[in-house]
Amino acid sequence: MKISSFFIGLVFSLSAFAAKVEVDVSGMTCGMCVEAITRELKATNKAENISVSLEDKKARFSDLKDLKLTDAEIKTAIKKAGYEAVKIRRN
């Protein structure tokens, strides 16, 4: 019982460090665009809970404080997918 309580507390404490990121992306026109951006963000090994919306033209994800993606890394990943990161917001 004590061990499971420890792990539950650990999970909640780690999620408290997650930063939410929203990126406006230009150039997306289809589902393949969504897949390419998702794939490149995953490849950084620093992003989780990735959601890319074709309708909103936004990529949303969270990163851990210790593995935070810099703005330059975000722009590079999205450019590698063939698109442009126009604006990056963090919560």
10 located within any domain: no
When divided into structural domains, the chain yields a total of 1
pLDDT at 2: 53
pLDDT score of 48: 93
Question: What is the domain-level CATH number for residue 62?
Answer: 3.30.70.100
Phi/psi for 50 (5° steps) reads -75, 130
Q: What burial letters (b/e) apply to 50-71, b meaning 16+ CB within 10 Å? A: bebeeeebbbbbbbeeeeebee
Counting residues of the chain whose pLDDT is more than 90, the rounded percentage is 71
The segments of the chain whose pLDDT lies below 70 read 1-17, 65
**65: in domain:** yes
On whether residue 7 sits in a domain, the answer given is no
Residue 12 counted as domain residue: no
